[in-house]
Amino acid sequence: MKRLKIYLDTSVISHLDQQDAPEKMAETRKLWERAKTGAFDVVLSNVDFEEILDCSPEKQAVLLEYLAQIQYERVEVNAETLRIADKMVDLGILKQKSYDDCQHIAAAIVSDCDAVISWNFKHIVNHKTMQGVKAVTALEGRSDLLIYTPPTLLGGEDNDE
């Protein structure tokens, strides 16, 4: 079975060290342990790194240490990515003020990822965005892009069923 190719938005990386959200941090670290084993093909974009650079120097250092633990493909936002991000705004899927989120999703689409993994319920992990992304991938003639939280992706792997 082919490995899933997943795009991690910054909310996932940030939750590796999110002391005020211990449950999400624990779930994210479970995902990270799986990523360290090469269970997924991980994709990050320059948008992830730009957002990490907006964190405090202390948090930046911790997150970059985590990133050094896994293999990932880094993609740069390009003209095609921006065109798809613009289409998401034009179609009313997300607003211009959420343009970074549009770029995360568009980078995943352009990189032929199977899924975006996010903790961003306001802009990414919600029905409206999921339906909008389905429409965009169809309009673009691309494969469906799934949107999951870390525990949804792992799907209860820890269960003994």
pLDDT 10s digits, 84-106: 999 999 999 999 999 999 999 99
Spell out the domains of the chain, with CATH numbers in brackets.
5-154 (3.40.50.1010)
Q: Which amino acid is at 9?
A: D
Percent of the chain with pLDDT over 90: 94
Per-residue tokens: 92 = 């009313």
- If we measure between CA atoms, which residue out of 140, 127, 150, 5 comes closest to residue 85? 140
pLDDT band per the 50, 70, 90 thresholds, residue 155? confident
Q: Could you please report the per-residue DSSP string of 46-73? A: HHHHHHHHTS-HHHHHHHHHHHTTS--E
| DSSP β-bridge partners for residue 6 | 42, 115
Tell me if 110 sits within 8 A of 84, measured CB to CB.
yes
Task: State how far the Cα of 119 lies from the Cα of 106, in Å rounded to an integer.
Answer: 17
**Model confidence over 105-119: pLDDT tens digits?**
999 999 999 999 999
State residue 156's pLDDT score: 61
The average pLDDT across 68-72 equals: 97
State residue 106's pLDDT score: 98
Task: State how far the Cα of 147 lies from the Cα of 153, in Å rounded to an integer.
Answer: 9
Q: Is the pLDDT of residue 127 over 50?
A: yes
State residue 159's pLDDT score: 41
Instruction: State pTM to two decimals.
Output: 0.94
Task: State how far the Cα of 46 lies from the Cα of 104, in Å rounded to an integer.
Answer: 9
Angstrom distances, CA of residue 98 to CA of 83, 86, 103:
15, 11, 9
Task: State how far the Cα of 74 lies from the Cα of 64, in Å rounded to an integer.
Answer: 14
State residue 157's pLDDT score: 53
- Residue 73: Cβ within 10 Å count: 13
DSSP 37: T
State residue 93's pLDDT score: 97
**Model confidence over 17-49: pLDDT tens digits?**
999 999 999 999 999 999 999 999 999 999 999
The average pLDDT across 137-148 equals: 96
